[in-house]
Amino acid sequence: MCYGLDRRNNVTDEVHSGDFVFDLIYNTFFKIKKYKSSSHVGSNDGSMDRGNWTNKTEYMLSMIGYAVGLGNVWRFPYLAYKNGGGAFLIPYFIMLAVAGIPIFFMESSLGQFCSQGPVNVWRILPIFQGVGVAMVVVSTLVGIYYNVIIAYSLYYLFASFQFPLPWSDCFDCCFTIMYQVCNITTAASWSEPILTGNMTLWENHTCPEKDIISIPIQSPSEQYWDLVTLQRSSGLDETGPVVWHLALCLLLGWLLVAAALYKGIQSSGKVVYFTATFPYVVLLILLIRGLTLEGARDGIEFYIGSKSNLTKLAESEVWRDAATQIFYSLSLAGGGVTALSSYNKFHNNVFKDALTVCLTNCGTSLFAGFAIFSILGHMAHVYGKPVSEVAQAGFGLAFIAYPDALSKLPISPLWSILFFFMLLTLGLDSQFAGIEVLSTCLVDAFPETLKSKRSIISMGICSILFLLGLPCVTQAGIYWVTLMDQFCAGFVILFVALLELVGIFYIYGGNRFIKDIEMMIGTRHSIFWLWWRACWFFISPAIITMILVWSWLTFRPPSYGTVQYPAWGVALGWCMITFCLIWIPLVAVWKIFHAQGNPWKRLCAVCSPVEGWGPYLDVHRGERYADGGQVDGKNSVQLPEHNHYQMSKQPNTPLTP
């Protein structure tokens, strides 16, 4: 990537004010001093050259849409039920406070401060620029399989325009009750195992109870998922042909993404007015409908009611699940938070925004659980089973259990359409930000060439990722999706987040970074920063390290249901992790090699900000960054003249290779 940026002092006139009540409380308890210089605020707060959000609402909806995704609906409710119900909220919100909000605040502050994407922000620390590259690679791989899940939602959405729903009845030798096999072969009259549905007589004999073997069954919705939607093969070894109805839905999904990102944030910012708000309308409708159903109370009791188990808090796995869910739910270390924040006005209150997005995300997870478990409780009532036997997570909840429950309701197509349209909008919001990471990095790297070609970039990225996603819509596609999800969205982003914290707070300098933030939001009292220092320097890195070590020690090869992955499949998963992380040492070595001086001077050089690092516009650079080569009076890195990563000494002029 090239750092040749054309900085111009083009600005806009808008400065957004926050909510009055929030500001009153916030200013009373946290904000001790005003901005040092009011001249920084006003007409000189944005860049028309690079682009800014049209208004604050578009940014907030885009960020909430990115953070609130499918995991809020199909993962959190199950984890809460599994880990003690209401008791799970205690570790969940503790992890939000000590890890989720601090890292989200850090990433959004970094992007807003320098108005650059997740690769170029690492001009702050050139030796760690590979961390930004790793984020881009992860976003690419996640984008490939995430749109396949959107394709599943589209297919079920179209299938819902039928009455009755196609998964409501058996269509190919399925059973709605558990069946048994009589395993007696000793007597002549019992020459082979006998399938008995209700223990009726066979040749005037009854199967002894001790010889009855219960056989798992497939519900109609499970058969529809396996045999019709996926046309699932026996394993990763059996690829099979492309499932064309899924391929067409995948194409439609990418067309929707490309259309929304046709003009970058200027077009996606308009789309999120609907896609970020509609899921809340559907969740509210489903909750109201669910609460009127018989058995809903049992579902909610299992989810977060009186059956909460406080003794679960003594189990370390509960705390790990809470930390992991917070981390993945907020989409940290994927580059999206930094990319979206980079289009903010410089003096936007990034702290208040981070707090709002994080609390909204967690509130959505909690709210979604009530909508999900109220209807699952009704499903358990209909089948005469405990809720624990119908509750599932992931694909099992979204495409098997919940559709099965919806098929039992009056006017079932209506509820099914609403549910899958909600899944579609949840998925699209997250996908918008993921693809924006890629296009932002490209435009930041080659601004003069690509700045006016946003539409071509968006269409090109979507076209390439569509082709790369075709193996995920073969008959073995679900195995590829599961493999990529477990490996690409696991170890990599945890390791990247840890390096972010180490690089910024231990090498660049935590105090220096805090001064950078204060240039945007104003000076704060040292008491305000006490908590954030504790989290950034100690608590958050410790939690991430704990999760990494625990995940490593408890690692189990991936599986889909009862299907185990072959050894080469697991090896391929580790290769994906290697491919994502290998850029970190490669870029570090490359940077050191191209620096000047002896080995120690080279190392010191690449561990300092590049010349020209700082706010995007000259008007925001202030005294600390008035000289492009000085940061707080300290020389930034000096790279050889032939290195195309060297910045021009004047921050508002383009780089000359």
Q: Which residues belong to the annotated binding site?
A: 65, 67-68, 72, 329, 361, 426, 429-430
**Cα 46 from Cα 13, distance rounded (Å):** 8
Exposed/middle/buried for residue 187 (C-beta within 10 Å: 0-12, 13-18, 19+): exposed
Q: Is the dihedral of CA 537, 539, 540, 541 positive or negative?
A: positive
Exposed/middle/buried for residue 622 (C-beta within 10 Å: 0-12, 13-18, 19+): middle
**Cα 411 from Cα 408, distance rounded (Å):** 9
**Cα 587 from Cα 319, distance rounded (Å):** 35
Helices (H), 168-292: 220-223, 244-260, 265-275, 278-291
Known binding residues for Na(+) are: 65, 67-68, 72, 329, 361, 426, 429-430
Q: What is the DSSP string of 144-201?
A: HHHHHHHHHHHHHHHHTSSSS-TTSS--SS--SS-EEEE---SSTT--S-EEESS---
Rounded to an integer, what is the distance from CA 351 to the centroid of its chain?
A: 20
Within the chain, what is the greatest distance between any pair of CA atoms? 99
| Strand-pair partners of 242 | 474
Q: How is residue 379 written in tokens?
A: 């499903």
**Cα 548 from Cα 494, distance rounded (Å):** 7
Residue 205 DSSP class? B
φ and ψ at residue 370, rounded to 5 degrees: -65, -40
Contact 258, 454 (CB under 8 A): no
Residue 559 DSSP class? E
Q: Is the dihedral of CA 609, 610, 611, 615 positive or negative?
A: negative
**Cα 167 from Cα 84, distance rounded (Å):** 32
Backbone region of residue 314 per phi and psi (left: phi > 0; alpha: psi in -120 to 50; beta: other values): alpha
**Cα 53 from Cα 472, distance rounded (Å):** 34
